[in-house]
Amino acid sequence: MAGRGKVKSGLNALILSALLGLLPGAKVLAEGTICAEVRLQIKQEATLEREAFDAALEVTNQYPSYGLTNFRVNILIRDPQGVSADNLFFVKISSKEAINAVDGTGIVQPASTATVHWLIIPSTGAGGTNPLGLSYSIRADISYDLNGVHQTISTFDDTIIVRPQPALKLEYVLPFEVFSDEPLTETVEPVEPFPLGVRITNVGYGPAKNFQINSGQPEIIENKQNLAIDFKLLGTYIGASKVPDTLLIPFGDISAGGVTQAAWIMATSLSGRFVKFDATFSHAAELGGQLTSLIQGVTTYTLVKDVLVDLPGRDSQFDFLVNTTTPRGMMEDMLAAGQQIVPNVILESDQAEPIQVTYLASELIGDLNGANTSAVLRLTQNLGANLWGFTSVPAPQDGRAKLVSAVRQDGKNIDPKNVWISRHFSKITGVSFYRLNLIDYNPPSMAAYTLNFSRESLDAPPAPITDLSAFARPVGGQTGLTWSATGEDAGSGTILGGRYLIQAATGPAAEFSPALAQVNFTTNTAPGIMQNYLVKDLAGNASYYLKLWVQDTGGSISADSNLAEVYVLPNPPADLVVGAISSNTVAVGWNGGNNNLPVEYGIWADTDTILPAAAAAPLKDPFDRAFVFEGLTPNTTYLFYGWARNPDSGVLSEQVYMGQALTLAAAPGQILSSQLFTSSFTVAWDPAANSVWTEYFVQVSTMTDWSLIVQESGWVVGASYTFGGLTPNTAYYARAKARNSAGAETAYVDFGMVKTRSVDILPPVTTIVFAGSYFGGEPVYISSRTGIILNALDDVSAAGDGLGGAATTYYSLDSAAFAVYSGTFSIVEAGWHYLTYYAVDGFGNREAPHISSVAVDNTPPVMEIQVIGSSTTDAQGNLVISSDAAVGFSVLDPDLDGISSGLKAVMVSVDAGPYTVYQSVLTLAEGFHRIKYYAVDNVGNEQVSYTFECFVGAVPKTATWTGLAGDGDWSNPANWLGGQVSGANDTIVMGGRDTVVINSQVVFHSLVLGDSEGVSAPILIISTGISVSNNVVIHKNAILTQYTVEPLRFDSLLVEAGGKIEHYPNISSRQCMTNLEITGDLTLAAGATIYATGMGYGIGYGPGVGVRRGGGGYGGKGGGSGPNPGGAAYGSVVTPEALGSG
């Protein structure tokens, strides 16, 4: 029933997808770049021959009249133990004849024979691991209906032998960075093909027969930026051979445990990075799909380099040196940070297991140049035995040196595939970085490798400077440069006897050439050493563009450096010329610096280096180079400084010292003071703003024509001088001149005449004067407030000539020591005192002491008021005296320790009138009165003022509001207790909660509204002015409302908490305001209110027509209305005639 056969197993849709990142478009890095990505896909098909079985069933229907209906066949497969193995096989009908189906719907026609073939494909593990394979039994269970009767039948078992199956693991490798035309450079770079490698390992137990992979060309499946880019597979590498123009790789048979590898040759039209690389696969569904797939998995790695495992007995086919651990998404950042992609595994072409690789640190020793073509690579780490090591260092001469060979210290020649120079192009800096890489097996301890390079590649000009940087100097016309040295040959080798050439131009488009360099100097330097140079003598206030070239020992010159730009500060002014100098002026001129326009210059003068300057010239344009400094100090050295400034940008040059000048001395001023004696005098004169170092020369003569010089001072410092040995009572003439520190003299200045004094033979005479209140002669009564003045006059030879001068006055109080009199003094302590005093003149003449007796009285008089006649007290506590009574005073000036200066006067004020001297008893008119009084003695001691209040006449009544009439009318007697309206001398007590209106002028003694508890809460509305001769008290919840502008006159006012004074709002033509005149005390308790508002009249109620006219106002014009101007003013803010606009 079953027969063995082979089938072609197709692994369709083996898909490689990659994401290439690149920076397209921009050719100049400074213009910025845009990261772009292109996603591509490569479709491949892998095929191989594999074992399969054909099962055939032939059924003959011998019934001429009946068909076999509902025909069904089930194929059953069992393992040697009789267990079902259907899940290990893929079973598919491959052909059928004379029957339509075998799934229970089939029909075998009468008198016919039907044939069915099944393809049976074992799964990967169905063959086991024994090369002899495993046996399985197969039979068919058949069921059908014959003339309505259901029939079943089974075939005999048939046996198949399933051999072990292959299982393939595919590993793809692709580089991270690939090279072609670089969008970020001006040149068009060549295409550099790269490998897309694949390694197949048979991890199964059976051979893979005739395995091959056929690849399609890469397809771009995503290109959002529409980049003009292309990818191609150019050919294949199979074994050690390159096969162009084919994409099919026939690997042939791969034995169990075997491995093989190959690569496609791939290219791209733009350089970039494969930032993502994935591979997926699926088995053809018509051959069993995943169940029968012989592909176990597909993985991808980053290819570092194709190398050769050159151990004995190994093949010569290339091997893959890969990185299996670093995600591709991290590699760009690693390279940008100066790191590298380090391999960790070799995938060998004829060994199934990957070979581990260890990274080793190393160093490159030796300078390469045209004369020295070798360098030594020395490992600085050891590696264990029988292991592979990888090392990498920066390539010499920036990768320009071409590597020829590498020989290990023990003589082993390193295979050329295992030592190479790699490149990385930085899309950030636009610079390529090169590394020298080596991989070796079992290197000796600290192994050293001699690297030999092509002489032609080494003998090259120095590499151009790429990091030239210019920076502004604080000194005008200068710029500093820094750069990193390159090498004798490109970037390597020490330059000995080389030169640097620098050109500075004022525009970026200028012609730059080593032949035009303005600076040329020698250098001996190793690569990478930081260099610096100071360029001088440039024009200031200018932008410069600089390039630098390197010339090596043999005269080869590098290419242009990068262009450095710098703004050079202005050059300060120079060449100060000092012109005319006076005592307070200096004229100067100068030359402008070598500067580009616009520029201006500032010059200032100072005595030190610290601003602000003593004097400064206004900013000068470059064509105005002179200035006269004025207002300077005579005989002073001035330092002159300057700077230049760009007026547009405000940039300043450095401050420079330009020179100095010494002003002349000013001529001495006139005499300020003189001290005259009989045989000498001292004169002091105005130094006229001269400095303290100024010298003066003074002469005196008795002749106005200076024909006879009596004395000279010589040159002295200081503005005073004393001449001695002169004749008394003689006129002398004085004059002086000055000179500065340099000896330049002024003309003489006449000081006028000075006369020596006559000989003094009389003592001074001192008199005493009292300032303030005092009384009597000897003794003199004073108070502690009385000032004492001692006046001393001195005569020379005759009384009254007044030609002398008292030098010092002395005084002593009581028994105290004499003190020098310096001005007015007083005696504080009360009691008897004696004062002794005298004076001494300049010649020592002393007068006899004087003694004056003084009595210090600090006690004011004491007085009492007296009522002469009958008196009593009313219910409110007021003192009431009869109409025929009088008021008088008794006064006493106390005698303390026998000292009393006596009463001078009693001062009295009646009913707020002015104070007058009390002469006799006071007779008062009927009514309330307030008397203020005090006494004063003869030295001004005043008694504290006292106040006396009384009522003269019959006892005043208390008027109590009842409000019984109910109309709130103040003038209605029915509203008052006893039917009597209050009088001028009455005390008004208003309780209850009535609203009471006063419509006429009234006068009364005092007013109490409400009570302290707030139970009574009357409202008193006053529409005219009133006068209250005594106190007004407004208790809690009581309200006094003013319905007028007339003043309410009170002697004193107390508003308790909750009490209120207010006025009606001005909402009609009537004017209202709070207007209080209080002669005594005003007391507002916390919580009391006096209300006032600034609102004016209501609309139409003002003093003028308010329709489309300006409103009235006080203290200024009212507001306007539309085009109409403001209304008139009525009075002022303090005394308004009208209270606002209507």
Q: Are 68 and 156 part of one and the same domain?
A: yes
Q: Among 244, 262, 243, which Cα is nearest to 252's?
A: 262
Tell whether the torsion through CA atoms of 1061, 1066, 1069 and 1073 is positive or negative.
Answer: positive
Q: Are 7 and 144 part of one and the same domain?
A: yes
**What confidence tens digit (pLDDT) does each residue in 754-787 have?**
988 777 788 999 999 999 999 988 899 999 999 9
Q: Are 711 and 826 part of one and the same domain?
A: no
In a domain, 252, yes or no: no
| Phi, psi (rounded to 5 degrees) for 648 | -80, -45
Instruction: Supply the DSSP symbol for 180.
Output: S
Tell whether the torsion through CA atoms of 63, 64, 70 and 71 is positive or negative.
Answer: positive
- Answer whether 189's CB lies under 8 Å from 180's CB: yes
Q: For the ranges 121-135, 431-445, 708-722, 1124-1138, which has the lowest average pLDDT?
A: 1124-1138
Q: Which amino acid is at 137?
A: S
**What confidence tens digit (pLDDT) does each residue in 599-650 have?**
999 999 999 878 788 899 998 888 999 999 999 999 999 999 999 999 999 9
Q: For the ranges 78-92, 761-775, 891-905, which has the lowest average pLDDT?
A: 891-905
| pLDDT at position 29 | 34
- Answer whether 1064's CB lies under 8 Å from 1084's CB: no
**What confidence tens digit (pLDDT) does each residue in 20-59 have?**
776 443 333 333 445 678 888 888 888 888 888 999 999 9
In a domain, 80, yes or no: yes
Confidence of residue 503 (pLDDT cuts 50, 70, 90): very high
Three-state SS at 88: helix
**What confidence tens digit (pLDDT) does each residue in 877-891 have?**
778 888 888 899 989
Q: Are 717 and 801 part of one and the same domain?
A: no
Q: Pick the last residue of a domain from 127, 162, 197.
A: 162
**Model confidence at 460: pLDDT above 80:** no
| pLDDT at position 22 | 62
Q: Are 635 and 511 part of one and the same domain?
A: no
Q: Are 477 and 563 part of one and the same domain?
A: yes
Task: Identify the domain containing residue 798 by its residue range.
Answer: 764-855
Q: Are 809 and 683 part of one and the same domain?
A: no
What is the C-alpha separation between 1096 and 888, in angstroms, rounded? Answer: 54
Q: Are 822 and 709 part of one and the same domain?
A: no
**Model confidence at 973: pLDDT above 50:** yes
Q: Pick the last residue of a domain from 900, 934, 952.
A: 952
| pLDDT at position 875 | 67
Beta strands across the sheet bearing 695-701: 709-717, 695-701, 731-739, 749-755
**Model confidence at 259: pLDDT above 90:** yes
CATH code, domain with 830: 2.60.40.10
Across all residues in the chain, what is the average pLDDT?
87
What is the C-alpha separation between 265 and 272, in angstroms, rounded? Answer: 17
Highest mean pLDDT pick, 857-861, 946-950, 1066-1070: 857-861
What is the C-alpha separation between 680 and 756, in angstroms, rounded? Answer: 7
Q: Are 816 and 894 part of one and the same domain?
A: no
- Residue showing tokens 């007015």: 824
Q: Which amino acid is at 1061?
A: I
Confidence of residue 1138 (pLDDT cuts 50, 70, 90): low
Confidence of residue 383 (pLDDT cuts 50, 70, 90): very high
Q: Are 687 and 640 part of one and the same domain?
A: no
Q: Pick the last residue of a domain from 102, 129, 162.
A: 162
What is the C-alpha separation between 1063 and 487, in angstroms, rounded? Answer: 102
Ranges of H-type helices in 539-604:
none
CATH code, domain with 932: 2.60.40
Name which residue leads in pLDDT, 1139 or 724.
724
In a domain, 706, yes or no: yes
Q: Are 108 and 15 part of one and the same domain?
A: yes
Pairing of strands 995-998, 1019-1022: parallel
**Model confidence at 920: pLDDT above 80:** yes
In a domain, 912, yes or no: yes
In a domain, 1013, yes or no: yes
What is the 3 state secondary structure string of 1097-1118? CCCCCCCCCCCCCCCCECCCCC
| pLDDT at position 1017 | 85
In a domain, 1020, yes or no: yes
In a domain, 281, yes or no: no
Number of domains forming the structure of the chain:
8
Instruction: Supply the DSSP symbol for 456.
Output: H
Q: Are 986 and 1077 part of one and the same domain?
A: yes
In a domain, 81, yes or no: yes
Confidence of residue 254 (pLDDT cuts 50, 70, 90): very high
**Model confidence at 355: pLDDT above 60:** yes
